[in-house]
Copies of this chain bind each other. A is one copy, B any other.
């Protein structure tokens, strides 16, 4: 069984994980900047994580999480994103307010807690920022969700989720003939009001407001 790790250890693991997503390797300075700690402190912790067999690390070299380290990291990411989803969906937090709180909640250790939470939330696949939530085996959807506001022009895409369940929003979406699964392309953006012209699957064009575009998640096809 995987042992428990301290909050500090978990923060290092999680940050290494995120940093190594780009190039596969991380440097002491990068990590120290991400964690807001001095490089000397980072070195200390790297030795400890190596000792605990989570990290490939040799002095003065770049480092990376090994298989076990990545597994642990995915568990933390899972908790973080599930809690974010919970805060937004159930406790009426805004997307922008959840990160800090989730930073604390992600360190709660109960395995049962997180499995029951996942089930209670109905196994969401993406957090409120569109990032994929690893399942209990660490698997997650590869494709990141984008906000419609971030989608470039003329890319085929599909609506994957909406950032709120309010009846007002659902009413509007019904009117515009948009629902989960609707395929669309962004054809134009009007800078005056940031409104967006979409082309739906049936070639119909609709114009949607910035407020609406900013609560629609899509994935590119």
Docked CA distance A92–B116 (Å): 7
A185 to B113, CA, bound (A): 38
Q: Are B101 and A113 in contact, with the CB atoms below 8 A?
A: yes
Q: Which of B104, B109, B110, B112 contacts A108 (CB 8 A)?
A: B104
A97 sits at the interface (CB 8 A): yes
Is the beta-carbon distance between B110 and A101 smaller than 8 angstroms? yes
A112 proximity list for chain B (CB < 8 A): 93, 97, 101
Interface string of A86-107 (1 = CB under 8 A from B): 0100111100010011001100
4 shortest interchain CB distances as A-B pairs: A91-B116, A101-B110, A104-B108, A101-B113
Interface string of A66-100 (1 = CB under 8 A from B): 00000000000000000000010011110001001
* Chain A residues with a Cβ under 8 A of chain B: 87, 90-93, 97, 100-101, 104-105, 108-110, 112-113, 116-117, 120
A125 to B80, CA, bound (A): 29
21 A/B residue pairs, CB under 8 Å, sorted by A:
A87-B113, A87-B116, A90-B120, A91-B113, A91-B116, A91-B117, A91-B120, A92-B116, A93-B112, A93-B116, A97-B112, A100-B110, A101-B108, A101-B110, A101-B112, A101-B113, A104-B108, A104-B109, A104-B110, A105-B108, A108-B108
